[in-house]
């Protein structure tokens, strides 16, 4: 059980004056609900231990949005990877957006934007030089969202998804 005080420290932002939603750090208890949102909204599904490992390793940037009834309606999760920098051979820490999804009835209310802005701030503590992600070339909505945050298309990853669709590799350099 989390105490009220703990809950307070986890809450990043209430979306509107009616406190219709809140953004907070994911807990172990939330994982089943997170997986439910993922499986309903995205064809890229992962086993439980995959979520659990990310929660164990990078908990600060694993965020959920809950509605006023306490139901999880969105999540975002990141991991940190060491990889060559985009403009030099130096190895740098990159924040890799693993997955974000907002349940259908809760979209276009700014939830994804709040998840992104708060999690990007949180993961910066790993001395991040770049934020990176892949997105389906057909996923106009998500591409618009990332462009709004200044991500740029770096390249195309051919045949990236299981069904053969290409991905845009998008980058935001700090």
- Interface residues toward ligand ACO, by CB under 6 A: 41-42, 97, 99-102, 107-113, 133, 135, 139, 141-142, 144-145, 148
Q: Are 165 and 136 in contact (CB under 8 A)?
A: yes
- By beta-carbon proximity to ligand ACO, the closer residue of 25 and 116 is 116
Residue 110 binds which entry of ligand ACO, Zn ion, none, CB below 5-8 Å type-dependent:
ligand ACO
Query: From the CB of 152, what's the least distance to Zn ion, in Å?
Result: 16
What is the C-alpha to C-alpha distance for residues 106 and 48, in angstroms, rounded to an integer?
24
In the window 28-67, what residues touch Zn ion (CB under 5 A)? none
Q: Are 110 and 9 in contact (CB under 8 A)?
A: no
- By beta-carbon proximity to Zn ion, the closer residue of 23 and 95 is 95
Selected from 34, 112, 134, 146, the binder of Zn ion by CB under 5 A is: 134
Residue nearest to ligand ACO (CB): 112
130 binds Zn ion (CB under 5 A): no
Q: 123, exposed or middle or buried, with CB in 10 Å at 0-12, 13-18, 19+?
A: buried
The token duo for 139 is 């996923």
Query: From the CB of 128, what's the least distance to ligand ACO, in Å?
Result: 16
- Which residues, listed in sequence order, are joined to residue 79 by a DSSP beta bridge? 96
User: What three-state secondary structure class fits 23?
Assistant: strand
Residue 145 binds which entry of Zn ion, ligand ACO, none, CB below 5-8 Å type-dependent:
ligand ACO
Strand order in the sheet with 72-84: 11-14, 21-25, 63-67, 72-84, 91-102, 128-136, 167-173, 152-157
- By beta-carbon proximity to ligand ACO, the closer residue of 59 and 110 is 110
Query: From the CB of 70, what's the least distance to ligand ACO, in Å?
Result: 19
Q: Which residues bind Zn ion (CB under 5 A)?
A: 134
């Amino acid at each position: 059980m989390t105490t009220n005080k703990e809950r307070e420290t986890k809450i990043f932002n209430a979306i509107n004056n009616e406190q219709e939603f809140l953004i907070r750090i994911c807990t172990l208890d939330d994982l089943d609900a997170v997986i439910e949102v993922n499986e309903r909204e995205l064809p890229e599904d992962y086993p439980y231990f995959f979520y659990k490992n990310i929660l164990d390793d990078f908990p600060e940037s694993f965020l959920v949005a809950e509605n006023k009834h306490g139901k999880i309606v969105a999540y975002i999760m990141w991991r940190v990877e060491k990889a060559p920098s985009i403009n030099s051979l130096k190895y740098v820490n990159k924040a890799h957006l693993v997955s974000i999804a907002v349940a259908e009835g809760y979209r276009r209310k700014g939830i994804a934007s709040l998840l992104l802005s708060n999690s990007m701030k949180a993961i910066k503590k790993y001395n991040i030089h770049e934020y990176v992600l892949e997105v389906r070339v057909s996923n106009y909505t998500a591409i618009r969202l990332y462009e709004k945050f200044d991500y740029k298309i770096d390249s195309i990853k051919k045949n990236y998804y299981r069904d053969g669709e290409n991905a845009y590799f998008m980058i935001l350099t700090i």
